Amino acid sequence: MKKIYFFSFSFILFLFYFSCKKNEESGNVNDKITTEKDKIFTGEDKIIAEKVDLLYQNYGKEGLSSEPIYSKPIIKDLFNTDLEKDLNKVKEITEINRKKIENSANPTDKPFILEGATFTSLYEGYTSYKIKGIEYTENVNPVGSAALVTVQLENSKVTPQAAWMDTIYFVKPLNNSWKIDNIVFDNKLSGVKDLKTNLNIFILQNNQL
């Protein structure tokens, strides 16, 4: 009888341990799938998050390079006035150069064009992104509010796979809406420090040619 009792008690302990272990592992899995991507943004955060989505759904995707800049008009009310002017100036330079080439002795030459995924640190662009944080501050020029949005991006199609952080600088002038003023790149991946610098280099190098 003692042997049977001991066996039964041991078997119960085993089942209890297995059940606890399974619940513990299940809890760990649930914790892992709770990420910033699932976060529900509200208020000003929600407005900014929607602008970030609008940016990355239209620009910077892996495989598209700078093509979206040239294939359609720059999205209205997404970029600050000066940044929007620079983007349209880039398009203008490329178009003028393209027409010059068409009427030249070498009509198949490649026009001046922005290379790579212009809005991300990685030349090849991104395959996924996630907002990691939003910080607010005051802005002097233009007068109003500012926000720094840290975004984690990844590209799973390059070898080796790449992951990096870009920072989007938003401004909200008085009586206006949130707009992107600049994007600061990850210095480990990008040869230029930010979006504005990249556009200005292109404009200065090619505007007089």
Which pLDDT band holds residue 158 (cuts at 50, 70, 90)? very high
Q: Name the phi and psi angles at 38, rounded to 5.
A: -90, -5
Which residue shows structure tokens 């914790």?
Answer: 31
Q: What does the pLDDT average to over 145-174?
A: 96
Q: What does the pLDDT average to over 32-61?
A: 79
How far apart CA 38 and CA 131 sit, in angstroms, is 10
The mean pLDDT value of the chain amounts to 83
Q: What is the DSSP letter of 161?
A: -
- Top pLDDT among 40 and 82 is at 82
DSSP-assigned beta bridge partners for residue 194: 184
Q: Which two tokens stand for residue 124?
A: 């090849």
Q: What pTM value is reported for the model?
A: 0.78
Q: How many CA atoms lie within 13 A of 3 on its CB side?
A: 0
Which pLDDT score is estimated for 64?
Answer: 75
Tens-place pLDDT, residues 69-125: 998 999 999 999 999 999 999 999 999 999 999 999 999 999 999 988 999 999 999
Tens-place pLDDT, residues 10-37: 444 444 444 444 343 333 323 222 234 5
Which pLDDT band holds residue 195 (cuts at 50, 70, 90)? very high
Q: What is the DSSP letter of 145?
A: E
Q: Which two tokens stand for residue 173?
A: 């002038």
Q: Which two tokens stand for residue 110?
A: 């490649």
Cβ-defined contacts of 204-209 (< 8 Å, 24+): 206/93, 206/97, 206/112, 207/89, 207/93, 209/97, 209/112
| Residue 78, amino acid | L
Give residue 169's Cα distance to chain centre.
Answer: 12
C-alpha torsion angle, residues 196, 202, 204, 206 (rounded to 10): -160
Percentage of the chain modeled with pLDDT above 90: 66
Which pLDDT score is estimated for 92?
Answer: 96
Yes or no: say if 180 and 79 are a contact pair by the CB < 8 Å rule. Answer: yes
